[in-house]
Structure 1
Amino acid sequence: LSSDSRKSSCTKANFSNPADAEEEKEPKLRDTPEDISFEASANTIAFHPSRDVIAAGDVDGDVYLYSYSCLEGGNQELWSSGHHLKSCREVSFSHDGQKLFTVSKDKSIHILSVEEGRLVTRVPKAHSSALNSLLVIDEHLFATGDDNGMLKVWDLRKGTAFMEMQQHEEYISGMAIDENKKLLLTTSGDGTMGVFNLKRHRFELQSESQNGDLTSIALMKRGKKVACGSSDGTIYLFNWNGFGATSDRFAVKAESIDCMVPVTENVLCTGSIDGVIRAVNILPNRVIGSVGQHLGEPIEQLAKSHTGQLLASCGHDQKVKFWDISSLSSIVVDDYRKRKKGGQLKALSRKAFGGGDDFFADLREEIEAPKEEEEEKEKEDSDESDSD
């Protein structure tokens, strides 16, 4: 990896002379990088904070680092690591981009050198249960959550956890922290959100239980709202400092919301078991449209690039896919009236429904076929009536 930060290659080509371009045989420029394929399903992905680099961890416990480019054939594997004995559940870069944190079903925490993929720090039995979630807080602190609801907050300077609390009855699915690094929020399979005070090293409160598992969390509206995804396809909203009960809820037309990532202060993207990535506006609550999909395959995780122009997703199809989300920053939804039911999910990018192939084509054909048959029958009846 070059230590110099470089301009993203996902920009439009500028050739002063078409003949020169043809002569140089420049690689074809794409809207987004090509898919990255793996031998096993990727559970987790994370973008580097300043370079065109993405990390991924798979169900076999392997961790990969790739550089990505919008030039055809431009993606390149930089290194891979097989240190975990079981599935790698979460990867996350340090804020300076020099370290990569990973947690695994094997109960261990690994910290790798981004430059070489070398194992720098290993905590073999970090939890008594399989690790499921990870949050890097600052240059010294990070938090981990496991399958039994245990939360630990670690200090790299001491090499130990200074907070250990088990307030959840089920797995910790996601974590978020406020700008002041004071309150750590957790979502859990027990349907609740937990609030922990890092400054005072104590548990603050737990929200009322919601329907289904809470699977993901995102801070929206400049930290004034907390959005939680759920296994029943509902987004639950909490006011900041009003964590006990929801202020609003929004049922997205999806079987589940398994992961989500904020794109702007008002818009987030969700991934579901149906394989569709939806862009959702928060207050007013609207599904804006589809960013992309893993055809018929559940989506495990979403991540936003350091430029904010790309979204990456990983699913059960053993691929990491890239999507152009640059248009989402200019979308403004200011209509609070209830949206009419029905209608096709709007495509928000050229790749949104499979590179021009309509994702709902089969569904529409099923709807239209009976209609055509009915019209044909009416025509036949009319012909018979005329002959009579």
Structure 2
Amino acid sequence: MKTDFQFSNLLGTVYSRGNLLFTPDGTCLLSPVGNRVSVFDLVNSKSYTLPFAHRRNIARLALNPRGNLLLSVDEDGQAILTNVPRRITLYHFSFKSEVHALAFAPSGRHFAVAIGRQIEVWHTPSTPDVADGDLEFAPFVRHRVYTGHFDNVQSIEWSSDSRFFLSASRDLTARIWSLDAEEGFISTTLGGHRQRVLGAWFSKDQETIYTVSKDGALFVWKYMLRPETPPDAAGDDDNMQWRIADRHYFMQNNAHVTCAAFHPESNLLVTGFSNGIFSIYELPEFSQIQNLSISQNDIDYVAINKTGEWLAFGASKLGQLLVWEWQSESYILKQQGHFDSMNAIAYSPDSQRIITAADDGKIKVWDVNSGFCIVTFTEHISGVTACEFAKRGNVLFTASLDGSVRAWDLIRYRNFRTFTAPWRLSFSSLAVDPSGEVVCAGSIDSFDIHIWSVQTGQLLDRLAGHEGPVSSLSFAPDGGTLVSGSWDHTVRLWNIFARTQTSEPLQLMADVLCVAFRPDSKQIAVTTLDGQLTFWSVSEATQQGGVDARRDVSGGRKLSDRRTAANVAGTKSFTTVKYSADGTCVLAGGSSKYICLYDVQSGVLAKKFTVSVNLSLDGTQEFLNSKLLTEAGPRGLIDDQGEASDLEDRIDRTLPGSQRGDAAARRTRPEVRVPAVAFSPTGRAFCAASTEGLLIYSLDTLFQFDPFDLDITVTPATTLETLAQKEYLKALVMAFRLNERNLIRRVYEAVPIQDIALVVKDIPIVYLGRLLRFVAVQADESPHLEFNLMWIEAMLGKHGRWMKDNRGAMEAELRSVEKAVRRIQAELTRLADENIYRIEYLLAQPVEENTKQLALDFGDSDANGMVEHKDEAMGEDDDDGEWMGLD
């Protein structure tokens, strides 16, 4: 089995904190998610996560006017410069302090950074595709430092000609700065607000300045004569100054302004408030256009795209991200992640959806291809602890601490069955019979296993035998055996469909945390609290192998730990384990930052994946920095909430004795852990539920250059020359060697239909898996339906016996092809079902009379000639519709 899985996407979280960005064309939205950046394509309804990761949560993002350079800065001032189209990290840089605002000039030559009370302007690094030179050795060159504010600068806005910029600060003022020294220009301070200024903007003609403060005041500034100036000195610039021309106020009862954005071309001002309401105003008349509520908590940031049609809102309290089209009053994007930790995940049988269940009581269905949440179920009133798909059909089962097990129809998106026990129990584990007829659940309150009928919803039986809470359940894929793990140090095998429901106990040395069946139903994997991962034979009830995983899973020291990471007991066991699709490997995760992939037969650690390097999370460091240790303890644990400058930040709203805390609060340090992992049924990917979200690791990383068997003569140019000479097989092999997807598609689509069988017949076996995988992807993406099916038919016809003999190496590719063919079959069936009556109606019409009438309508005097011509094309005896290929 291949183990080179690479991070491909981050789901489950859409916005955490920071600023939102629209791309220059206005079609994509960039959102900071923890220490990563997610890109939402609003036109094609897809999302992806850029591959780089910061060492702390991202505080600010900025995109140059061309849209190809992204500058992201984390909470420590560490910056990463990224090429967005290529998704490549270009440069790392440190601003050495926290950055509060970041903005590129419209010219693209400079960008301004607010570092505390100072503003620094830097030259924008050039890229190789710019005409004025190659990429510099030291791309970050500082142009100038601007000082004058007395508190942190909150926002920076440039003028349209890039000669001036405005800064808004917490010191209740805004200032006008010039990029370079201008003759007669003096830096101007705009004062008068009673609370901190959130934003300042130029109008389109740069004759007016608008400033908005936290208390809901909007000041309109104009360049006017001083009040004491005599009339005869009106033309002198020394007598002109920026003055308040008008004042407006947002009348929101007890709410204050949390964010604001201005669009100069359309004179739209959008403000977000602490009560979850946003308002749209047209300036300079200050006429309100819309006033809507989108959240119950603060709106943290608002952004407007280039055309002024779409507004993006981010609310970190509940992890909400919305894109609103204000003219049509409709949502373009409405997403929300889990606002509490995820407990369980499950892949759908077709690998197209992932289910996540969390402590917030919500169950979310995520589309793997688009990266969006397509439906959310909220019927559970307490944390959801387990979820599992039925092997056939679109039925999902979930177990919750509210004492219910629910069955969900994922076609109609409804809860059609609810299973409960005679008395209220908190269910913690779940297993579904492969036939979908029986569902079992275990509880932390009772030591029995409850069994229900899915058809009737009735409780069929209770399996007694365990002497401790049942922590994990799993059905054998062949449906014959149920395995249960408990805190009583035993694993029991149950044959629930036999006349006598006896159980075979397997004795272990510690509490059982998780059990999993191998796909062939012959082996189970068991993880225990002492860090052991053991493998047991189901038929013989004997141990076949084991791994001491304490050293592998251990990692990361929390700030409150008194011992080193190597000696902390809490992270030394796996809490979840899953077999791969072919059963040769197991994937395991626990309360640490590592996911381990083991080979089952040898017990060797094949690969170790690091979930997060984010220092904003607790447990990502192996060793703590002694410089951060003070007399009062670790600096990260000192509560400085009472020293905040704003009243609402000083108020402590946490519940007394609360251990978990608010994951969106600034003073909380969530712990890194992996509560659940799941392998894709195709074997090409796996996902892991972590503190930061749902991480997807895949073998199909499209933006990775991975040449295969390459030599100096194989280039894109020589490949196209070979294709022009009609040497299709050679050109296809050269394209596979380069592994450039666009080049492979170009050669693939250029092969004539009559030559497909010859190309497939002579293709080397080493490229067969790559070709099969590529054709499966094309069958999903390209519109050439018959062309792709002819390739699949040729490959299965020419190499079917070899694929059968080497099924282990080709299983993932064959699953992908099967999935593509099933999707095509389903779509064609649906299309035929929708149009069958229309086709029957058309065939039932008398052809000759209709054609004569059609000819007369068009003014053709020779209608009989048209009928004869039609009869020649169709044949005289084709009245039953056989000419259309219909039975």
Calculate the TM-score normalised by the size of structure 1: 0.61
- In the aligned structure 2, how far is the partner of 1:150 from the partner of 1:239? 24
2:382 counterpart of 1:129? yes
**Could you tell me which residue of structure 1 aligns to residue 429 of structure 2?**
174
Q: Map 1:227-266 to 2 at 5 A.
A: 227-242=483-498, 246-253=502-509, 255-263=510-518, 264-266=520-522
Q: Map 1:330-345 to 2 at 5 A.
A: none
2:580 counterpart of 1:305? yes
Matched residue SS, 1:258: strand
Matched residue SS, 2:440: strand
| Aligned equivalent of 1:217, options 469, 473, 491 | 473
- In the aligned structure 2, how far is the partner of 1:199 from the partner of 1:147? 23
**Could you tell me which residue of structure 1 aligns to residue 538 of structure 2?**
282
| Aligned equivalent of 2:359, options 85, 100, 105 | 105
Distance 1:146 1:244, change over 3 A: farther
- Per-residue CA shift, 1:252-307, capped at 9, x if unaligned? 12x11110111242311011112221111234222222145143512111111223
**Could you tell me which residue of structure 2 aligns to residue 197 of structure 1?**
453
- In the aligned structure 1, how far is the partner of 2:384 from the partner of 2:500? 26
- In the aligned structure 2, how far is the partner of 1:185 from the partner of 1:215? 13
2:524 counterpart of 1:268? yes
Q: Displacement, 1:242?
A: 4.8
Q: Map 1:15-94 to 2 at 5 A.
A: 83-94=337-348
Matched residue SS, 1:9: coil
Distance 1:298 1:34, change over 3 A: farther
- Letter of the 2:486 counterpart: S
- In the aligned structure 2, how far is the partner of 1:221 from the partner of 1:198? 18
Q: Displacement, 1:142?
A: 0.6
Residues 238 and 246 in structure 1, CA contact (< 8 A), matched pair in contact too: yes
- In the aligned structure 2, how far is the partner of 1:156 from the partner of 1:174? 21
User: Which sections of structure 1, spanning at least 5 residues, go unmatched?
Assistant: 1-7, 11-31, 39-64, 67-75, 328-347, 355-388
**Could you tell me which residue of structure 2 aligns to residue 386 of structure 1?**
none
Q: Displacement, 1:199?
A: 2.1
Residues 294 and 315 in structure 1, CA contact (< 8 A), matched pair in contact too: no
- In the aligned structure 2, how far is the partner of 1:213 from the partner of 1:34? 37
Q: Map 1:323-362 to 2 at 5 A.
A: 323-325=598-600, 327=601, 348-351=602-605
Distance 1:35 1:288, change over 3 A: farther
- Per-residue CA shift, 1:326-368, capped at 9, x if unaligned? x2xxxxxxxxxxxxxxxxxxxx42339x9xxxxxxxxxxxxxx
- In the aligned structure 1, how far is the partner of 2:375 from the partner of 2:499? 35
- Per-residue CA shift, 1:226-271, capped at 9, x if unaligned? 2211112101222232598543212112x11110111242311011
Residues 434 and 475 in structure 2, CA contact (< 8 A), matched pair in contact too: no
- Letter of the 1:152 counterpart: R
**Could you tell me which residue of structure 2 aligns to residue 318 of structure 1?**
593
**Could you tell me which residue of structure 2 aligns to residue 117 of structure 1?**
371
Matched residue SS, 2:604: coil
**Could you tell me which residue of structure 2 aligns to residue 366 of structure 1?**
none
- Letter of the 1:99 counterpart: R
**Could you tell me which residue of structure 2 aligns to residue 145 of structure 1?**
399
Aligned length: 265
Calculate the TM-score normalised by the size of structure 2: 0.28
Which structure's CA Rg is the greater one? 2
- In the aligned structure 2, how far is the partner of 1:139 from the partner of 1:299? 31
- In the aligned structure 2, how far is the partner of 1:105 from the partner of 1:166? 19
- In the aligned structure 2, how far is the partner of 1:211 from the partner of 1:169? 19
Distance 1:222 1:307, change over 3 A: closer
Matched residue SS, 1:179: coil
Distance 1:162 1:243, change over 3 A: farther
Query: Would you tell me which structure has more helix in proportion to its own residues?
Result: 2
**Could you tell me which residue of structure 1 aligns to residue 549 of structure 2?**
293
Q: Displacement, 1:33?
A: 6.0
Q: Displacement, 1:136?
A: 1.2
- In the aligned structure 2, how far is the partner of 1:82 from the partner of 1:160? 20
- In the aligned structure 2, how far is the partner of 1:320 from the partner of 1:258? 16
- In the aligned structure 2, how far is the partner of 1:226 from the partner of 1:82? 36
- Letter of the 1:117 counterpart: G
RMSD: 3.3
Distance 1:277 1:82, change over 3 A: farther
- Letter of the 1:130 counterpart: G
User: Which sections of structure 2, spanning at least 5 residues, go unmatched?
Assistant: 11-47, 50-86, 88-334, 552-568, 609-887
Which 10-residue stretch deviates more, 213-222 or 83-92? Answer: 213-222
- Per-residue CA shift, 1:72-98, capped at 9, x if unaligned? xxxx9xxxx970000101111111111
Residues 260 and 270 in structure 1, CA contact (< 8 A), matched pair in contact too: yes
Matched residue SS, 2:464: coil
2:183 counterpart of 1:183? no
Distance 1:237 1:193, change over 3 A: same
Residues 132 and 171 in structure 1, CA contact (< 8 A), matched pair in contact too: no
- In the aligned structure 2, how far is the partner of 1:229 from the partner of 1:165? 22
- In the aligned structure 2, how far is the partner of 1:163 from the partner of 1:313? 32
Distance 1:9 1:91, change over 3 A: same
Distance 1:155 1:350, change over 3 A: closer
- In the aligned structure 1, how far is the partner of 2:375 from the partner of 2:7? 31
- In the aligned structure 2, how far is the partner of 1:159 from the partner of 1:222? 28
